[in-house]
Structure 1
Amino acid sequence: MEPGRRERCHEGARRRCPLDDAEFVSRARTGDLEAYEALVARHSAAAYRTAVLLGAGSDAEDVIQEAFVKGYRSLSRYRGASSFRSWLLAIVANETRNLHRSRSRRDGLALRMAAVSSGSAQVADGGVDAVLAGERRAALVRALRLLPVRDREVIVCRFFLDLSEDETVAMLGWPRGTVKSRTSRALAKLRDLLDREEVRSG
């Protein structure tokens, strides 16, 4: 089930449907900490992947903790125009940008680890296929790191985090047309970088 969406319950079902994000948010606004803890548990993995893929590296845990604290303090400003997940990931992205402004280096190893674990197809250990898959992932991460920050952000949102176009608009705070055009340009740049990588590696 996609985060934030209520399961459809069949009539007579004995099991209670899990609450959707809007209900948890509503309860959290009244001071129900358990409701907010449920939101944190539901979205922690996506928040962590977002922070790491956008370059937080070893500081990703600190970034998402700060984002969750700021999210709780800002619940009154969440209007429900976008999904709670995209609203929260926008805070994570902003905290990651703040981190970049306060330091000059990026942690490439953490980015590589995140790319491997962010939904890429898992390949059985051993064999030529596993080696080739590992090389492709490494090449993808190297190319991703060479993209300008805004290009990398839109690629991460659309293809690493599997956010919809609407969620990407909400998370990055860009107009829809900008998301569409930048996604197209960023993909073209990424393909070009991967082609160069392939030529270099023979």
Structure 2
Amino acid sequence: MLVARYSAVAHRTAALLGAGDEAEDVVQEAFVKAFRHLAGFRRDAAFKPWLLRIVANQTHTTTRARGRRGELTLRIGAQPELRVPDDPEGAVIATDRRARLLDAVRALPEREREAVVCRYFLQLSEAETAEVLGCPLGSVKSRTSRGLARLRKEVGRELS
């Protein structure tokens, strides 16, 4: 039941944090580790942040092992559009903007990228993000703020 419920967000987390083509393996290993350590899970805690922290740690292990820390393959977890856009030109512009934003997110320093991804792509709260990343709440706030400032600067530079 837990695998069915959290598989999609676990895959999205692994992909957004840099697992790329190895996201499936990362998630599978994370669920195995979660199962093995289920006895240590605090029943009063939320399961999702606990699992996503395992996914994040496994993603770091995997990316370090392959030696590509800086590379990030972002996948948007949104469902594909099934309708033909009313405004093809607008759709092309939106796709281009999305691609430029994802490129800018990929270029962020790792800690800022992780915070921005958790907060805005995975829509986690600041507390959940802190739990997933294993850092203090204040660090999540400052990393997110710095990451967003860099993104605003980068987007502003592209529009000029």
TM-score, length basis structure 2: 0.90
Q: What pairs up with 1:82-161 in 2 under 5 angstroms?
A: 82-105=45-68, 110-111=73-74, 114-115=75-76, 117-118=77-78, 124-125=84-85, 127-161=88-122
Percent identity over the alignment is 52
Number of residue equivalences = 158
- Measured in 2, the distance between the counterparts of 1:123 and 1:134 equals 15
Is 1:82–1:170's contact at 8 Å kept on the other side of the alignment? no
TM-score (norm 1): 0.72
**What stretches of structure 2 of length at least 5 have no aligned partner?**
none
Q: CA shift at 1:67, angstroms?
A: 0.1
Aligned with residue 3 of structure 2, among 36, 40, 52: 40
- 8 Å contact from structure 1 (residues 49, 118) kept in 2: no
SS at match of 1:154: helix
Do structure 1's residue 72 and structure 2's residue 18 form an aligned pair? no
Deviation at 1:153, TM superposition (A): 0.4
Kept in 1: contact 2:71–2:106 (CA 8 A)? no
Tell me, in whole angstroms, the C-alpha distance in 2 between the residues paired with 1:66 and 1:73.
11
Q: Structure 2: which amino acid aligns with 1:53?
A: L
Structure 2 counterpart of 1:66, which letter? Answer: E
1:55-85 Cα shifts (integer Å, max 9, x gaps): 1000000000000000000111111454101
Note the residue ranges of structure 1 that are not aligned, 5 or more in a row: 1-37
1:154 deviates by 0.3
Q: Which has the higher contact order (CA 8 A, sep 6+)?
A: 2
- Pairwise CA RMSD of aligned residues? 2.2
CA positional deviation for 1:51: 0.4
